[in-house]
Structure 1
Amino acid sequence: MARHPEYQYLDLLEHLLEKGDRRIDRTGVGTLSSFGAMMRFDLSDGTFPVFTTKRVFWKTAVKEMLWFLTGQTNIQSLLRENVRIWTDWPLDKYRKATGEEISQEDFEARILSDDAFALKWGDLGPVYGKQWRRWVDAQGNEHDQIATVIETLKKNPASRRILFHGWNVGELDRMALPPCHMVYQFHTSRTGDDKLRLSMLCFQRSGDGILGVPFNQIGAAALLSMIAQQVDMVPGELIWMGGDAHLYLNHIEAARTQLSREPRPFPKLRLLRRPDSIDGYTIDDFEVTGYDPHPAIEAPVAV
């Protein structure tokens, strides 16, 4: 019997626990770090690689990916979708700037109710979506990298230049957080029935083993599924590559708990409709069936 593909992830966690290099990181929490990792997941039969050894909130991950695709950089629209994963950074900035010890709940309520406040304090700078959809070159021209990927897949699917990335050197200092998952590259191959199969590689320069990697992988799988549908191809492989993969020192017990559990079958994904463009998807278009994970594991975010 084939080994469950989730073991690729569990092997990474085990490697970090046993052989990770202990180091102090930007957040001050400290990590066990390893350089260079890879996982491969076959999506061709509708598999949606959401890890099962703990509950991962796939809807939140897909909503984040849909938000990236809008090109927006303000947390107000995320909060309207009940996604709170980006609040920590603007909240930290607000507290330091004003000295006000506002709670996260109150800060989010102000972002939602006060557009002027949201404009001033809810923006994350030119993060992911800005670079993906509105990269500005030295002449001031905007480049929609996602649109270019889709157009190239339709016109020249064998190209080795079908990729987009978010590491805009000139704007890094204005971002709340530089992109972790930073390069996405696409590759097509023939299937038995002469349809094209679309595979995607996601390179993540910095991967938080417990919180970030399981989450970002779901967003990547959703993106691959949407783009494949838009260009009349079938999803192939999702390949995740990590640069600095790490385990925060306050996540060690969470990792041990997860390693004690047996993976269960991955769920299946079906897109319920085909929008006119990549901009037309909503969370309601994603039907995920058969997700029966082990219970969630609490772990703090390092800011």
Structure 2
Amino acid sequence: ASLDEVPVTESRHVLDEDGGTRAEPYDYIHLNAVSLDGDDGFLVSARNTSTVYRLDRESASVDWRLGGHSSDFEIDGDAEFAWQHDAHRRADGTITLFDNQSEDDAGWSRGLRLAVDEDAMTASLVTQYTPEQDRLSATQGNLQELAGGNVVVGWGSRPFYSEFDRDGTLLYEATFTAGTSYRAYVLPWSASPATPPDAQLVEDGRSASVFASWNGATEVASWLLVTGPDEASAVEIARAPRERFETEIPIPAGATLGAYVGVRAMDAAGEVIGGGAAQIAAPEPSS
């Protein structure tokens, strides 16, 4: 039990008047993350003590405390954190975490990378990852380190996730408009939708193009434009590399379109992975 190693006096969580009962027990520590720290230990994040504990893997005893009322480290002012989530030791020896600061005076949350000197027992700020506008996340949150050194911050109770370079520069930010996400991750993903690609034939009297897209497909590298008397006998008349969501494939001058006009999606190896017929664009309404 946590009380064997961490006394209630380390808690920063105020005991509610109705709390501390069997029905409503007092959550003095609120453990929210455990991660490996080398071969012999774990890092344990405790939200309600604002502390990251290093535990011995065999005995489960506390080796040291980082943060909180009883910190074993002297922490620089700009590296102090509170009500944190998702503590991890990284390959370079730094420790990353999501610093909620949700019940303190900071007024904003952030991702943190800390340098921890276990000989001098000091901790200092390496990088902080912050959005363009201050954002306070009362609960949840995480920091994911990507293979190239960038990091992804999930903002917990706020419906955002952000990617930063290792130096803390914001690269992009996205929102899912509502709700919460305990943690947000960027992971490899591939998909070939069950529905066929969409294609639209657009003619303006002087030129013609087919616009091709395949919502949800991740493996499209290029498009073929084919035509013929029917789908089975259609032949290629043009191709174009995939560009963003929708790719324009100009119809070559002098090309004759058959009864069937369609597109075929190809992957990076040149294999056809999907196809569909082109629809004729509806005429623009007259003014």
Bin the TM-score by the shorter chain. under 0.3
Structure 1 length normalisation: TM-score?
0.20
Higher relative contact order (CA 8 A, sep 6+): 1
Structure 1 or 2: more helix by fraction: 1
Structure 1 or 2: more strand by fraction: 2
Q: Which has the larger radius of gyration?
A: 2
